[in-house]
Amino acid sequence: MSYITDSLQLYKDKISHLVKFSFRPEASEKVLIKLIAIGI
């Protein structure tokens, strides 16, 4: 369980890092939600 949690945390950290370089926060949030949905 902790392995999955750690992986998700790492994944979220990478995504949030990418999101910072994205155009608009609201657009980035939609992308983030899509990626998380695909990940799960």
Give me the pLDDT at residue 1, please: 56
Alpha helices (H) along the chain:
2-19, 25-39
Res 23: pLDDT: 55
Instruction: Encode the chain (40 residues) as per-residue pLDDT tens digits.
Output: 578 788 888 888 887 777 666 556 666 678 778 878 887 6
Q: Return the ∠ at Cα 1 (arms to 38 and 11), rounded to 5°.
A: 40
* Token pair for 13: 């950290």
The reported pLDDT for the residue numbered 24 is 60
Domain ranges of the chain: 2-39
Is the pTM higher than 0.75?
A: no
Predicted pLDDT at 17: 75
